[in-house]
């Protein structure tokens, strides 16, 4: 059975009209107006100051659950996009019935065929693309690229992601964070092989804790933490984080480098670099310099200057579907082709920043070989890549690890 019970035990609560309506409103914006799920929920959850933690958890988890299983639930409910409001209530009815929730006596739920819903669920679950709730093209692509492994990987990517923290050694030890969070009611577990990682025993809002506000930790999946471990940055190095975004990996590098040396964090989006600066202040990371890529000059100035260059490349994001389930409805074969071209362009262009004897790390949060090892091979076979040799590569499987799907390759530039 693939249904995921809500973590907050909200399933045992009576359904409240304002919470259900808030979920329906959120689904309308995500499905019909193609808005980003996390941004929609951020706004929805601010709507009513009276909502407590459990109320907000109900809205967020219900909405994400229905986004994750959209195709399966819509097939069971026999509705098609664009979903009008009665359609959205029919889909909600499917979700509630499969989660064993008693539906209230509201006009929106009149004549719910409970037995039929369960029967259709059993029937449709025999077909992988419906059981795992994915578009036809994605199912075909996954099977083509991963063969028999696709079944387990896509199943794992539909499970609820753990909340993993990365302790910031510039400010605290793992023991200090464990103790501080325990005092505020958060139990944590260590993860073998990840020296600064802690996993929350139960989901909760750790952003409100004093330890977070004091910069003792960041929320970062174990697989994402693995990328910087894989790079092994050393104090005193000059490192370019070429697609830095809001800087999770830059912050991790700064901690591993003990604030010694320099990290040049590049991105094409100024708002992401502004967020990185804010996070760096909270983390006590002083060796990060942000630079906006607003012309080719930014890269030219860094040619041959870096000990290490990290390319955390734009990708399909298939490896992080558990935390971004709306991605599978936004992806298209055309986007995937275009992002693969971008990946190759970035590899060719940004690899020039590596100095002789220096290293290049290419990473994605995808599980597709066409975005990963095949991209590295294509680069190494090109004129630009002929100066590099592949030292090692690693794939993190969501099915085997229980964490996000990631790929990373370490290349060295010849002296």
Give catalytic residues, as residue numbers: 365
Quote the radius of gyration of the chain (alpha carbons, Å).
Answer: 23
Strand partners, 244: none
The residue behind tokens 């399966």 is 72
> For residues 92 and 83, what is the distance between their CA atoms, to the nearest angstrom?
12
Helix or strand (DSSP H, E) at 54 = helix 53-68
Q: 161 to each of 70, 207, 220, 398, how far by Cα in Å?
A: 18, 17, 11, 10
**Residue 215 · residue 171 · CB < 8 Å:** yes
> For residues 72 and 94, what is the distance between their CA atoms, to the nearest angstrom?
10
Provide the 10 A C-beta neighbour count for residue 206.
19
**Residue 231 · residue 242 · CB < 8 Å:** no
Q: 118 to each of 108, 126, 132, how far by Cα in Å?
A: 19, 13, 16
Q: What backbone phi and psi angles, to 5 degrees, belong to 360?
A: -120, 130
């Amino acid at each position: 059975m693939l249904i995921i019970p809500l973590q907050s035990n909200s399933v045992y609560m009576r359904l409240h009209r304002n919470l259900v309506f808030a979920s329906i409103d959120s689904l309308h914006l995500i499905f019909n107006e193609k808005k980003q799920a996390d941004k929609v929920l951020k706004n929805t959850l601010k709507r009513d100051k009276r909502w407590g933690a459990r109320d907000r958890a109900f809205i967020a988890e219900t909405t994400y659950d229905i986004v994750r299983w959209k195709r399966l639930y819509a097939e069971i409910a026999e509705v098609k996009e664009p979903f009008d409001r009665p359609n959205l209530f029919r889909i909600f009815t499917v979700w509630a019935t499969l989660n064993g929730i008693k539906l209230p006596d509201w006009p929106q739920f009149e004549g719910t065929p409970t037995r039929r819903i369960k029967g259709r669920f059993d029937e449709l679950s025999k077909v992988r693309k419906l059981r795992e709730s994915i578009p036809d093209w994605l199912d075909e692509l996954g099977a083509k690229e991963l063969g028999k492994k696709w079944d387990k990987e896509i199943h794992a990517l539909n499970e609820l992601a753990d909340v993993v923290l990365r302790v910031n050694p510039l400010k605290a030890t793992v023991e200090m964070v464990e103790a501080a969070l325990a005092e505020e009611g958060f139990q944590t577990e260590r993860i073998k092989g990840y020296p600064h990682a802690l996993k929350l025993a139960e989901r909760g809002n750790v952003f409100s804790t004093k330890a977070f506000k004091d910069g003792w930790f960041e929320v970062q999946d174990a697989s994402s933490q693995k990328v910087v471990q894989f790079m092994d940055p050393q104090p005193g190095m000059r490192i370019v984080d070429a697609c830095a975004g809001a800087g999770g990996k830059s912050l991790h590098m700064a901690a591993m480098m003990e604030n010694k040396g320099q990290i040049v964090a590049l991105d094409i989006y100024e708002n992401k670099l502004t967020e990185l600066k804010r996070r760096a202040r909270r983390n006590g990371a002083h060796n990060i310099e942000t630079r906006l890529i607003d012309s080719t000059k930014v890269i030219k100035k860094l040619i041959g200057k870096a000990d290490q260059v990290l390319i955390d490349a734009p990708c399909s994001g298939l490896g992080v579907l558990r935390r971004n389930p709306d991605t599978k409805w936004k992806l298209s074969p055309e986007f995937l082709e275009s992002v693969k071209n971008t990946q190759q362009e970035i590899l060719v262009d940004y690899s020039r920043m590596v100095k002789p004897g220096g290293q290049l790390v290419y990473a994605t949060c995808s599980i597709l070989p066409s975005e990963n090892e095949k991209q590295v091979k294509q680069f190494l076979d090109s004129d630009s890549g002929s100066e590099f040799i592949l030292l090692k590569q690693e794939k993190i499987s969501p099915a085997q690890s229980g964490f996000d799907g990631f790929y990373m390759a370490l290349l060295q530039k010849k002296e």
